[in-house]
Amino acid sequence: MIKADKENLLLYELNDRIDVRKFCCEDDEVNDYFHNKALINNKMFISKAYVVINKNNNDIVGIFTLSASLLKLTEKEQYGISRVPTILLGRIGIDNKYRKQNLGRFLLEQAIGICEEVKKLIGCRLLMTESISGSKILAYFKNLGFKYETTDKRSGKIFEVLSFDLF
């Protein structure tokens, strides 16, 4: 394990000068996405991947993606809206060398900081994410102020959808 001092962590949008193949977290699907798909999705403006780098050794400490999304509502006349513009925190991972240091919180802080900048330019009210029902991550997010919105069932799994109010 490598100890990361938060004062040494840097945040950049993923670009082709960053060798993302060095990154390895415990989720193979997250690794596969960042190794093979993240850069092209960045270039095509489908989803933006951000990397947190340790300035002492240029290691990629963590990685996350943000993309525009929508939360559909059952139509209501009261406020004249049938959907809420949101930002989706789609993927997040901490490199195995940097685990057990609560760096997930640091990554979330950066994601929320970016959302704060975005919301000055375009309407977006919620930061959304989801995880498998009953998982520890959900409890962690809720402790930070994320709220339960709904349950989604797909691919034989049950997910809890959470939101963080950017107001």
Partner 1 sequence: MENNLDELKSQEKKLDIKPHILQTEEVPELNINIDEENFNIELDESESENLIKRLFEEKPDKNVSDFKRKALESYKKTKERSEKFKKKIFG
Touching partner 1, residues 86-115 (CB under 8 A) = 88-94, 99-100, 102, 104-110, 112-114
> Which SS3 state, helix, strand or coil, does residue 33 take?
helix
Considering CB under 8 A, how many residues would be counted as binding partner 1? 80
Supply 46's token pair.
């489908």
When binding is defined by CB under 8 A, the residue of 1, 3, 7, 120 that contacts partner 1 is 7
120 binds partner 1 (CB under 8 A): no
CB of 108 to partner 1, least distance (A): 7
Pairwise CA distance, residues 96 & 2, whole Å: 9
Considering only CA atoms, which of 90, 93, 166 is closest in space to residue 131?
Answer: 90
> Could you say whether residue 20 binds partner 1 (CB under 8 A)?
no
Is residue 139 involved in binding partner 1 (CB under 8 A)? yes
For CA atoms 164, 131, 92, 40, give the dihedral sign. Answer: negative
Cα–Cα dist 148/160, whole Å: 7
Instruction: For residue 84, state whether it binds partner 1 (rule: CB under 8 A).
Output: yes
Chain positions 29 to 68 lying near partner 1, rule: CB under 8 A, are: 29-30, 33, 46-47, 53, 55, 58, 67
SS3 35: helix
Q: Which of 11, 24, 39, 118 binds partner 1 (CB under 8 A)?
A: 11
